Structure 1
Amino acid sequence: MPPVVAPAPTRLWTPDRALVTRSAAERPYGQHVLQRLERAGVTDVELLRGDRLPNLRGDGDRAAFMRAKNTLALVVGAPSRRRLQPIPPSADWRFDLAEGCPAHCQYCYLAGSLSGPPITRVFADLDDVLDGLDTYVGRGSVTSGTAERGAEGTTFEASCYTDPLALEHLTGGLARAITYFGTHDWAGPVQLRATTKFDDVGALLDLPHAGRTRLRFSLNAASVARRFEAATSPVDGRLAALGAVAAAGYPVGVTIAPIMPVDRWREGYGDLLDGIAAAVPEGTDLTVECITHRFTPGSKATLTEWYPRSRLEMDEDQRTTKRGKFGAVKHVYPRQTMTELRGWFQDAVTDRLPGARLLYWT
């Protein structure tokens, strides 16, 4: 087969500042990241004397937000991170390459999940985390042992709290994880899962992935992406990257999120599905995940502070309130709207992506 040609990356993030804790600088992977930061042209790198980050909260003003958003911290994760948690409906288990994201999506889900200033933390103990995954093989309940998704094996989600491809040119962490999953002698079938809004896939195409990593691209109708997904790669770039990794033999996926019933939404999402169909080679192992827009009181407050001029609809009066098992409040679209959206997407995915598997709708 001819070599797969990667699309030129459309956006690479360079942080204004990098903070490195003492323990992180002592780790082999931490030293690897430091070298990559230097090659990427990050000149403001502060090696801290201890393992505590300085206070980056500021006074809550816009300048403090932007300083935090443009800061990368290289740290060692707390021991509790080694005890993996399930992450339904995506995967059996979650582990973190990093926490935080340089993009400026005005609906950002991290606003309701992470506390404190929005810096991006990269975890320097990645090698230790990967070495500890063996004990979780065969123990999951989201995909492992299920009739619907058991063929995926034990699944590990690496992009719950970050976009790993947005950081890959600075860290090499995603490539490290892909290679580990592809070459390690596992006790049973496994799959690494990662999703992204970026397109810098060149360094991933020739890795020994052994089909054990599913790279998914988070996509949206063009009108939604243009309005609400700042500092990400354009949808066309993500589609080109999707086609490249599929041609390199990866199982791939698309996460259509957050779905919004904007004006002419059928046409917009129909064009997106047609673009996906055109991007992937025939016979590609393709999955689809559909996630509608929702928000919590906490995420609304944070996002309103982060993006005060946003035109994103977050009107509780236009939503239905759902409560989690611990009483957490979430505002979702009313039942009639959800039924209409779900019916259309199920039919459209079947019609326009006949070889794809729709994993879930939420």
Structure 2
Amino acid sequence: MPAQLLDRPERRLPAAPRLWIPKHVLVTRAAADLPHTAEILRRVEAAGVDDVRILPADRLPTAPKGESEREAYARAKATMAVVVAPPSALKPQPIPPSADWRLDLARGCPAHCQYCYLAGSLSGAPITRVHANLDEVLAPIASLTGTGSVTTGDALRGGEGTTFELSCYTDPLGIEHLTGSLAAAIAQVGTGRHGDGASLRFTTKFDAVEPLLALPHGGRTRIRFSLNAAEVERFEGGTARMPARIEALRRVAEAGYPVGLTIAPVMPVDGWQESYGRLLDDVAAALAGIPALDLTAEVITHRFTPSSKQVLEGWYPRTKLEMDESVRSVKRSKFGGVKYVYPKGTMADLRSWFEREVPGRVPGARLLYST
């Protein structure tokens, strides 16, 4: 046996990932005959879902009368709908500071994060809606390559080409075992089906990466893992635990994918420097020795809006998540929208710490932004 293999620390095989299995799958009339729907239904059947209904129309059923907000939430989160993305969802939008453009493989997420960024931004019940017209969703890549205001032409990030974010309104890995949409997108872009100069990126809180490892990704998809301190992880129900995410990060990096850390939402919990320091050290240990590692980091502090707070308190009435406007600062968008962020001094402390510690503790990591 070669000496270098004798020196390599033994790693246990990763535990089988915990996969989300919906109780109910609904298929709209418009989606029923599309080719990708057949693949989704094959996967749904293999997963053992018993309640699969083909709807007579394109409107999803409304909530039963008398159902409480909490009951409606539970039912919706146990439901996956296969739908056709409407024309409005087929027109990619800019999404700074992450990527040039946004593409939506789905809308909605099976996780139960008590700070959920989708609360208040997606209308209707939190059903996970999977887009069956996948070819139409991916079609704009070719025409938009070479355009954009985030990575296209940027001196620091130009090597990524024109970037397309897949996880704005969903966690695509969390539903991949049921859809196959993510693998199809990665392979299409990786083999140049949509031309050269484009790349995909997505963030996940799940760890079922095995189906992605052997794909012909061509280095054109950056897989980022949403990581956090242990004190914040407790707000992330239904997701892979932090060690499993870090192990999955290592595995996709070994498979040659560009990778990333999405450290979010950062919260200044007691002893936050030590907690986030341990997290960065764990990442550094997992990625040590991987050749040609391409690693980025994005740091996003916790914030909420009045509407998201109202929705989240309805979904999680016993949450211990801090959403107290009196200890926050108001940040207004150019359209007059309100977000509650940490006070200026706290934000400065968090930003300076991560700007120093990310590259200091994780060799080779490039911090793209801290917000």
Identify the match of residue 266 of structure 2 among 255, 259, 264.
Answer: 259
CA distance in 2, matches of 1:30, 1:189: 29
CA distance in 1, matches of 2:13, 2:43: 21
Identify the match of residue 48 of structure 1 among 55, 59, 65.
Answer: 55
Which residues in structure 2 correspond to 1:73-152 (within 5 Å)?
73-152=81-160
CA distance in 1, matches of 2:193, 2:17: 36
Runs (4+) off by over 4 Å? none
1:198 matched residue in structure 2: 206
Q: Deviations over 1:184-213 (max 9, x none)?
A: 245441110011000000000000000000
CA distance in 1, matches of 2:326, 2:64: 32
Q: CA deviation at 1:127?
A: 1.7
CA distance change for structure 1 residues 51 and 186 in 2, over 3 Å: closer, same or farther? closer
Q: Is 1:25 matched with 2:32?
A: yes
Task: Specify the code of the residue in structure 1 equivalent to 2:53.
Answer: E
8 Å contact 1:57–1:117 — kept in the other structure? no
Q: Is 1:334 matched with 2:343?
A: yes
CA distance in 1, matches of 2:40, 2:16: 20
CA distance in 1, matches of 2:224, 2:78: 25
Which residues in structure 2 correspond to 1:175-190 (within 5 Å)?
175-190=183-198
Task: Specify the code of the residue in structure 1 equivalent to 2:217.
Answer: H
CA distance in 2, matches of 1:269, 1:147: 29
Q: CA deviation at 1:282?
A: 4.7
CA distance in 2, matches of 1:119, 1:309: 22
2:314 matched residue in structure 1: 305
8 Å contact 1:57–1:116 — kept in the other structure? no
Secondary structure of 1:23's counterpart equals coil
2:8 matched residue in structure 1: none
CA distance change for structure 1 residues 293 and 341 in 2, over 3 Å: closer, same or farther? same
Question: How large is the Cα RMSD of the aligned pairs?
Answer: 1.6
Q: CA deviation at 1:250?
A: 0.2
CA distance change for structure 1 residues 57 and 296 in 2, over 3 Å: closer, same or farther? farther
Identify the match of residue 359 of structure 1 among 351, 358, 368.
Answer: 368
Q: CA deviation at 1:49?
A: 1.2
Q: Deviations over 1:27-62 (max 9, x none)?
A: 100111011000000110000112111113764432
Task: Specify the code of the residue in structure 1 equivalent to 2:296.
Answer: T
Identify the match of residue 63 of structure 1 among 59, 68, 71.
Answer: 71
Q: Deviations over 1:272-322 (max 9, x none)?
A: 001111112254100000000000000000000000000000001110001
Q: CA deviation at 1:265?
A: 0.5
Q: Deviations over 1:237-289 (max 9, x none)?
A: 00000000000000000100000000110111001001111112254100000
Secondary structure of 1:111's counterpart equals coil
CA distance in 2, matches of 1:187, 1:42: 37
CA distance in 2, matches of 1:181, 1:46: 32
Secondary structure of 2:261's counterpart equals strand
Secondary structure of 1:250's counterpart equals coil
Q: Normalization by structure 2: what TM-score? A: 0.94
CA distance change for structure 1 residues 254 and 9 in 2, over 3 Å: closer, same or farther? farther
Q: Is 1:170 matched with 2:200?
A: no
- Gaps of at least 5 residues in structure 1 are none
Matched residue pairs, number? 359
Q: Normalization by structure 1: what TM-score? A: 0.96
Q: CA deviation at 1:356?
A: 0.9
CA distance in 2, matches of 1:186, 1:177: 10
CA distance in 1, matches of 2:229, 2:73: 28
8 Å contact 2:92–2:140 — kept in the other structure? no
Secondary structure of 1:22's counterpart equals coil
CA distance in 2, matches of 1:53, 1:337: 44
- Gaps of at least 5 residues in structure 2 are 6-10
